Chains A and B, each alone.
Chain A
């Protein structure tokens, strides 16, 4: 997955790291901390350079990749009136918010773990602006508005100027286009400064390989001082290998509400990141009776489609795929994970395991089945006790040997198995499995 969200704190840190290079003429005082508890905040305040935590009024928010924190009552900027939040207030608030599950207006439920704390920045509405950039179709698009904050989302079309920038447009042309699209209702005395900032913002977005970068609001204070009050960003993680130094030590956290990724999903994701092969697993319904282990990103989708068509999704336990030539060890680990998950809950109807795939172009089918067979050895008893019916369908190099081996091993272990090759339609085993 190429576009990954990053924390507000990390996005601001990237700005701070490269500020002087890109934003000549403007100043950004990067005062921000990312903490996971009230105590950590108190400790941070004792460090050199972080005295502002005890000297200035603060704002605290969860930094968990979701927006609309204001609407969800998750922004602490006042106790009685705006700008009176102390260090102690913030620390207590953080601990309170962490102590229970939180459900957002959009429905996601989860646990708040990371918080960003910054100085309270007094400013007027007129000083708030909106700027963002992302890719639409093949082009980059820069969005600018004289209004920032929650208002810009209502009335987007009237308030926001869009500039479409083709990928190979020379800088000189881009700058001209941006300048000619500066929102008219920006006060004249600020237009030039905003234009200059917008151009530099776009170059920064482009060079740092952001897939999405939004500052809402960005506050232009006097003397070229900029305050980034809120930031949402996604990076193109395929650029990671080129951007190691530029990004620094960046984290790609799991989206809120999904970080209850199970241990097993985490383990597979880790194996995937370490391998050149692709190993993906998402548990949809851990108590479901239909489990799949399908090779290939395309085929796995087709199997999921077909299962949903025949049986609905209530019984579909997982979605995932393995491809790109995983080693025997990796395949074994993947299979074992599935077998372990599918033998935890009972179902009187018994379990169905679909080991499927298309006709491979170059994956050696016999080799990959070796890993599955090894997993069978360890889990045969458990699979049998859950009345598991196994259906295999695969084609490709060495498929005859692969099918023969897996059938022989399953027979030897007393597993209930049917094997099919490319003469059987790719998803026909779903019909066979579910019609019984």
Chain B
């Protein structure tokens, strides 16, 4: 489908997404012309529809076991799909009938089941119909012609397209209705639609022995609902030679009465004024005749043959993907913005803007980028004694480079150091999401055996507040659209500080909690915010900020030129029993 889209020069691919319930991936790479694009994968039709509300066609490739369920689920989503195509052959008859009726009631066109699909040349092609690009071009299926084609059979649809291309000017739209007994849209449904389509100047119907659908078409011609010329032929004239038992063709095809034989239908259609050739072999000539006649009358004009893009024969999939920055052009860009457009002060952009571009691929509003910068400045350093800074200093004193000493400090960052930001966000969010009262939250944490991250300080208390915290809270109060999680956290703080004065919401907790509020206010879903927490994004703010402090300590050591560090032995508790053998 993507090759077709590219060849005919569509603005963008016709495939918005793929529903793959058992795939763990979020997207899959496909070629669009010479380049690869990423087509999103969804776990359910519902998910796909909420992410891609503009997609109004569903192609149902599920097997006969589940095709009914997939279609009914799609119909239940409401006004989403105008057309559903179903490839499965062998859906139980009752299920097919229920499904087709449900679609009719909902005003949705079903193509199939048991079909290879349909095509609107120059616009949209369903899956495999039409075959290779070479055949598509040979059969002029890459642009709209003047014919409307309806068949039961997929193979013969392709054949007819070829015949129509040779003897006329191609097709404007075509549908293979499918080989099963109960199909969603029958010949008359499609022909009536083509009657209304101004691009269709004449129609071709390839019917089959069995069923009475062709008679509905005859009625429509007789009462004037269809005025455009129709060329028709029913295959299966062979059946008249055999009285019983032999099944020719599709599951739908077996004459139960004389009226259902191919011969009877061909005769009746001819009598109604439909152009019926003497045999299938004569069909090309009949098509040429009607086409040339319409052309002579001026009803069909010349078709402008469009330029075609060529899909390269050899294409190599790429090993790496980058979606945040691009260094291929005149100037490297951050999420589409040239560096020079965000670097200097006159651009009005700060570090927070750069982070929002490169980490989140979005342009965050000023209040959010300023909050990010505040966080970075707040966590930049906390003195030499903390383990990370201590490590950095020790490594610097061993004569190592800035980056080596920095990395040694960063390696301490984790659940015990800097991890309270993540932890606070995770647990407070969990408690709030699950409507735990502060007391319930406390006993939950007790049962987890985990002290609440983000609560508690060595010396700061309600009476002696941490000004970093006050600063952050005031900023949020003034600039955040809302702070629901912080409001919840304050109620928890009220309870904890009633037990002990210094069990205040500390700076790590405030940062983690306000980050969640920031993302909520920016419109992220709860799943997306959970993913930020799980993936360590909050940790990342701490890492970037604290690197400033660590480098400060490293440069300080280099300035001071202190010797190699050795911990004083009198500061170590030695308790070294002699090693016992194991028997």
Cβ of B524 to closest chain A Cβ, rounded Å = 42
Q: Assess whether B155 is in contact with A358, with CB atoms less than 8 Å apart.
A: yes
Tally of A-B Cβ pairs under 8 angstroms: 166
List residues of chain A with CB within 8 A of the CB of B376. Answer: none
List residues of chain B with CB within 8 A of the CB of A251. Answer: none
A388, CB-defined interface residue at 8 Å: no
Q: What 0/1 readout, one digit per residue, does chain A (292-331) give for beta carbons within 8 Å of chain B? A: 0001111111101111110001000001000100000000
Cβ of A202 to closest chain B Cβ, rounded Å = 13
Cβ of A115 to closest chain B Cβ, rounded Å = 23
Q: Assess whether A236 is in contact with B131, with CB atoms less than 8 Å apart.
A: no
Q: Assess whether B251 is in contact with A313, with CB atoms less than 8 Å apart.
A: no
Cβ of B149 to closest chain A Cβ, rounded Å = 13
Complex Cα distance A361/B87, Å? 13
Residue in A108, A298, A305, A427 whose Cβ sees the most chain B Cβ within 10 Å = A298
Among B105, B132, B153, the residue within 8 A (CB) of A297 is B153
Contact segment of A33-41, A92-100, A238-246, A376-384: A238-246
Q: Assess whether A313 is in contact with B238, with CB atoms less than 8 Å apart.
A: yes
Residue in A257, A297, A299, A319 whose Cβ sees the most chain B Cβ within 10 Å = A297
Among B95, B132, B156, B262, the residue within 8 A (CB) of A298 is B156
List residues of chain B with CB within 8 A of the CB of A255. Answer: 245
Which residue of chain A has its CB nearest to the CB of B135? Answer: A359
Question: Given A296-B155, A308-B241 in contact, is the A167-B179 Cβ separation under 8 Å?
Answer: no
Q: Assess whether B156 is in contact with A296, with CB atoms less than 8 Å apart.
A: yes
Question: Given A209-B94, A305-B279, A306-B280 in contact, is the A298-B131 Cβ separation under 8 Å?
Answer: no
Q: Assess whether A361 is in contact with B237, with CB atoms less than 8 Å apart.
A: no
Q: Assess whether A306 is in contact with B279, with CB atoms less than 8 Å apart.
A: yes
Q: Assess whether B116 is in contact with A359, with CB atoms less than 8 Å apart.
A: no
Q: Assess whether B247 is in contact with A1, with CB atoms less than 8 Å apart.
A: yes
Cβ of B137 to closest chain A Cβ, rounded Å = 13
Number of B residues, CB within 8 Å of A: 60
Residue in A2, A138, A309 whose Cβ sees the most chain B Cβ within 10 Å = A2
Q: Assess whether A422 is in contact with B238, with CB atoms less than 8 Å apart.
A: no
Q: Assess whether A241 is in contact with B131, with CB atoms less than 8 Å apart.
A: no
List residues of chain A with CB within 8 A of the CB of B90. Answer: 2, 238
Question: Given A236-B94, A313-B238 in contact, is the A359-B131 Cβ separation under 8 Å?
Answer: yes
List residues of chain A with CB within 8 A of the CB of B281. Answer: 306, 309, 425, 427-428, 430-431
List residues of chain B with CB within 8 A of the CB of A300. Answer: 248-249
Q: What 0/1 readout, one digit per residue, does chain A (194-226) give for beta carbons within 8 Å of chain B? A: 000000000000100101000000000000000
Q: What 0/1 readout, one digit per residue, does chain B (135-159) give for beta carbons within 8 Å of chain A? A: 1001100000000000111111011
Contact segment of B96-104, B360-368, B405-413, B492-500: B96-104
Q: Assess whether A425 is in contact with B284, with CB atoms less than 8 Å apart.
A: yes
Q: Assess whether B94 is in contact with A309, with CB atoms less than 8 Å apart.
A: no
Question: Given A138-B182, A305-B236, A425-B163 in contact, is the A362-B131 Cβ separation under 8 Å?
Answer: yes
List residues of chain A with CB within 8 A of the CB of B241. Answer: 308, 313
Among B162, B182, B253, the residue within 8 A (CB) of A359 is B162
Q: Assess whether B156 is in contact with A211, with CB atoms less than 8 Å apart.
A: no
Q: Assess whether A360 is in contact with B93, with CB atoms less than 8 Å apart.
A: no
Q: Assess whether B248 is in contact with A242, with CB atoms less than 8 Å apart.
A: no
A83, CB-defined interface residue at 8 Å: no
Q: What 0/1 readout, one digit per residue, does chain B (117-143) give for beta carbons within 8 Å of chain A? A: 000000000001111100100110000
Complex Cα distance A293/B94, Å? 34
Q: Assess whether B162 is in contact with A166, with CB atoms less than 8 Å apart.
A: no
B377, CB-defined interface residue at 8 Å: no
Complex Cα distance A358/B163, Å? 11
Q: Assess whether B131 is in contact with A2, with CB atoms less than 8 Å apart.
A: no
List residues of chain A with CB within 8 A of the CB of B139. Answer: 359
Q: Assess whether B93 is in contact with A135, with CB atoms less than 8 Å apart.
A: yes
List residues of chain A with CB within 8 A of the CB of B138. Answer: 422
Residue in B102, B128, B249 whose Cβ sees the most chain A Cβ within 10 Å = B249
B246, CB-defined interface residue at 8 Å: yes
Complex Cα distance A108/B244, Å? 10
Question: Given A297-B179, A319-B248, A361-B154 in contact, is the A239-B235 Cβ separation under 8 Å?
Answer: no
B1, CB-defined interface residue at 8 Å: no
Q: Assess whether B248 is in contact with A301, with CB atoms less than 8 Å apart.
A: yes
Cβ of A321 to closest chain B Cβ, rounded Å = 8
Q: Assess whether B237 is in contact with A308, with CB atoms less than 8 Å apart.
A: yes
Q: What 0/1 readout, one digit per residue, does chain A (224-256) give for beta carbons within 8 Å of chain B? A: 000000000000101101100000000000010
Which residue of chain B has its CB nearest to the CB of A240? Answer: B92
Complex Cα distance A425/B285, Å? 11
List residues of chain A with CB within 8 A of the CB of B279. Answer: 305-306, 309
Complex Cα distance A313/B4, Å? 43
Q: What 0/1 readout, one digit per residue, does chain B (70-91) give for beta carbons within 8 Å of chain A? A: 0000000000000000000011
List residues of chain A with CB within 8 A of the CB of B102. Answer: 168
B574, CB-defined interface residue at 8 Å: no
B181, CB-defined interface residue at 8 Å: yes
Which residue of chain A has its CB nearest to the CB of B254? Answer: A1
Which residue of chain B has its CB nearest to the CB of A422? Answer: B162
Q: Assess whether A309 is in contact with B129, with CB atoms less than 8 Å apart.
A: no
Complex Cα distance A79/B539, Å? 96
A258, CB-defined interface residue at 8 Å: yes
Complex Cα distance A205/B81, Å? 33
Q: Assess whether B156 is in contact with A302, with CB atoms less than 8 Å apart.
A: yes
B460, CB-defined interface residue at 8 Å: no
List residues of chain B with CB within 8 A of the CB of A286. Answer: none
Within 8 A of A (CB), among B163-186: 163, 179-182
Q: What 0/1 readout, one digit per residue, does chain A (161-201) give for beta carbons within 8 Å of chain B? A: 00000111000000000000000000000000000000000
Which residue of chain B has its CB nearest to the CB of A323? Answer: B155
A402, CB-defined interface residue at 8 Å: no
Cβ of A387 to closest chain B Cβ, rounded Å = 26
Within 8 A of B (CB), among A329-374: 357-362
A119, CB-defined interface residue at 8 Å: no
Which residue of chain B has its CB nearest to the CB of A254? Answer: B245
List residues of chain A with CB within 8 A of the CB of B130. Answer: 361
Cβ of A47 to closest chain B Cβ, rounded Å = 36
Which residue of chain A has its CB nearest to the CB of B102? Answer: A168
B228, CB-defined interface residue at 8 Å: no
Cβ of A291 to closest chain B Cβ, rounded Å = 15
Cβ of B452 to closest chain A Cβ, rounded Å = 53
A288, CB-defined interface residue at 8 Å: no
Q: Assess whether A301 is in contact with B249, with CB atoms less than 8 Å apart.
A: yes
Among B105, B180, B237, the residue within 8 A (CB) of A309 is B237
B65, CB-defined interface residue at 8 Å: yes
Q: Assess whether B181 is in contact with A361, with CB atoms less than 8 Å apart.
A: no
Which residue of chain A has its CB nearest to the CB of B284? Answer: A425
Cβ of B284 to closest chain A Cβ, rounded Å = 6
A149, CB-defined interface residue at 8 Å: no
B250, CB-defined interface residue at 8 Å: yes
Among A211, A297, A302, A357, the residue within 8 A (CB) of B93 is A211
Question: Given A1-B247, A309-B279, A428-B281 in contact, is the A360-B131 Cβ separation under 8 Å?
Answer: yes
Residue in B98, B162, B280 whose Cβ sees the most chain A Cβ within 10 Å = B280
List residues of chain A with CB within 8 A of the CB of B250. Answer: 297-298
List residues of chain B with CB within 8 A of the CB of A211. Answer: 93
Which residue of chain B has its CB nearest to the CB of A426? Answer: B159
Complex Cα distance A430/B249, Å? 19
Complex Cα distance A52/B236, Å? 52
Question: Given A242-B92, A309-B237 in contact, is the A359-B159 Cβ separation under 8 Å?
Answer: yes
A113, CB-defined interface residue at 8 Å: no
List residues of chain B with CB within 8 A of the CB of A295. Answer: 155
List residues of chain A with CB within 8 A of the CB of B154. Answer: 298, 361
B242, CB-defined interface residue at 8 Å: yes
Complex Cα distance A297/B254, Å? 13
Rank and list the top 5 A-B pairs by shortest CB-CB distance, nearest first.
A298-B153, A239-B92, A296-B155, A358-B159, A298-B156
A-B contact pairs, 18 of them (CB 8 A): A1-B247, A2-B251, A167-B101, A206-B94, A238-B64, A257-B245, A258-B245, A295-B155, A298-B208, A299-B153, A301-B253, A302-B156, A305-B280, A306-B279, A358-B158, A359-B135, A360-B131, A396-B131
Sample of 4 more A-B contacts, CB < 8 Å, known A206-B94, A209-B92, A301-B235: A2-B93, A298-B151, A298-B155, A305-B280
